[in-house]
Amino acid sequence: MTITNKLGLYLHIPFCTRKCRYCDFLSFSCNDNKIFSEYANALMQEIRIKSENWHYREVDSVYIGGGTPSLLSEWDIGKIVDCLKDNFNITEDAEITIEANPATLSDEKMERYLRKGINRLSIGIQSFDNNMLGILGRIHNKNDAFYSLQRAKKAGFENINLDIMFGIPGQTMKMWKDTVRQCIFLRPSHISLYSLQIEEGTEFYKMIYEDGQLEPIPEAADREMYHAALKMMKHAGYEHYEISNGALPGYRSRHNIKYWSYEEYIGMGLGASSFVDGSRFKNCEKMYDYISAIKENTAPIDAGSVESYTEREEMGIFVFTGLRKTDGINLSDFRKIFKEDFFSVYDNTILNKYKGMLIFDGDRLYLSERGMDISNKIMMEFI
C-alpha cells in the first residue's frame, strides 16, 4: 500500500553530446539521429507493453530524464508523448517534465514540447561561471545558460527548473554566490542545488584521486556554500521543501515528491527503475539486451533486479526517502501503510542521539537544516 494511487512515469533517454566529467549516470556520448530515432521507437514499444498491465491507473506526473533528452528531435519527443497519452491514463492536470541542456534547446523544440503537453522544463545550468563550466565538462557557456531560460519563458513555459552545482574544484564562495544570485534574478519557478559528488569511474575521480590534477572542496566549505544558497533562496521567496530543492509557492516538483513520499512509479527506457504493486525492479542496462527484449515484445526488465523487500526494509525506505523532505514524514501515514506505530518499530532514543537535528513534533519527524548536513548518517539509522 502507498499513500496515493496515482502513478508517476519516468522515461530515460541515455544520450549526451559529451559525458560530463562528474557524471556516473547511465548515459553515453552519441550524436547519431538515426540511433536516437531507433531508440525512440523502442521506447514507444515499451510504453505499449507496460501499459497492458497499468493502463487503468491514473498518471499525474511524467518525467523525461537522462542523459540529455533535448538531444532528440522535437518530432521524436512529440511522438513519445503522444504514445504515452494513447496508452496511459494521463490526467488533464499532469505535470510533464523534460530535462534539457542549454546548448541543445532550440525555440522549435520548446514550441513543440508545449504543443504536445510538456509543461515543465528542467534545464541543467550547473553554473554561470565559464571556468566552472569548463572544469565540469559542460558543452554550454554562461550566455547559453542565461538565454535558454529567457527563451523558454518567451516560448510560454511558466514552470521551469534550473539545476546548479556547488563544491566544484576551484569554486570560491564568491563564484557560487554569483551563480545563485544570477539564478534568482532569472526567477525560475524551481531551483535544484546539488553538491558535487566525486564518484568512482568518473573522469573527475581519476583527475582528483589518481592524477592529482584537481583538489576537492573541503567538507566545511561545501556546507558553507549550501547554507549560503538556502539563505539567499529563502530571502527571495523560494520554499526549501527538500534537501536539494527550493520552489516558488505552488511549484514543487510533483514527480520527485513521488519518490520521496513512498508513491508508485514506472520507469521506461534503458536502466529505468520502477516501484509498483509492491515490487521494485529495473530495466536492463545494456542497449543490446534492451532492444532484443523489445523486438521480442517483452518488457525489458533485468530479471536479477526484481526485489520484494521485507516489510521492515520497506519501512526503512519510507523513512529514508521521506526525511529528504523538509516536512519530513507523517507518522500517521506510516501507521496507515504498515499497520504499526512508528516508535514500536524504532527506538525513540535516536531523538536524543541527534537532538536538535532530528525533530519529533506532533505527528511529524523531520530534519532541521543542521540535521541535513549529516542527513545520510541519520537516515541510515532507520535502514
- Indicate the pLDDT class of residue 186, thresholds 50, 70 and 90: very high
Query: Any idea what DSSP says for residue 305?
Result: G
Same fold, 7-260 and 311-382: no
Task: Look at residue 230 in the predicted model and tell me its pLDDT.
Answer: 97
Q: How far is CA 9 from CA 59, 98, 365, in A?
A: 7, 12, 28
- Mean pLDDT, residues 342-351 taken together: 92
Is residue 69 left, alpha or beta, with left meaning phi > 0 and alpha meaning psi from -120 to 50?
alpha
- Per-domain boundaries in the chain: 7-260, 311-382
CATH for 7-260 is 3.20.20.70
pLDDT in tens, 218-265: 999 999 999 999 999 999 999 999 999 999 999 999 999 999 999 999
Burial class (CB in 10 A: 0-12, 13-18, 19+), 220: exposed
Would you say residue 4 has pLDDT above 80? no
Task: Flag whether pLDDT at 383 surpasses 90.
Answer: no
Contacts of 89 (CB under 8 A, 6+ apart): 55, 56, 57, 58, 59
Q: What tens digit of pLDDT does each residue of 257-294 get? A: 999 999 999 999 999 999 999 899 999 999 999 999 99
Kindly indicate the confidence band of residue 2, based on its pLDDT and cuts at 50, 70 and 90. low
Asked if 311 contacts 366 with a C-beta cutoff of 8 angstroms, the reply is no
CATH topology of domain 311-382: Arc Repressor Mutant, subunit A (1.10.10)
- At 24, is the pLDDT very low, low, confident or very high (cuts 50, 70, 90)? confident
Cβ 194 vs Cβ 244: under 8 Å: yes
For residues 171 and 165, what is the distance between their CA atoms, to the nearest angstrom?
10
Q: How confident is the model at residue 108 (pLDDT cuts 50, 70, 90)?
A: very high
Beta bridge partners of 103: none
**Average pLDDT over every residue of 349-368:** 94
Report how far apart, in Å, the C-alpha atoms of 283 and of each of 101, 211, 263, 265 are.
Answer: 25, 35, 19, 13
Enter the pTM of the model: 0.95
The closest of 66, 69, 68, 213 to 135, measured between CA atoms, is: 213
pLDDT of res. 245: 97
Percent of the chain with pLDDT over 70: 99
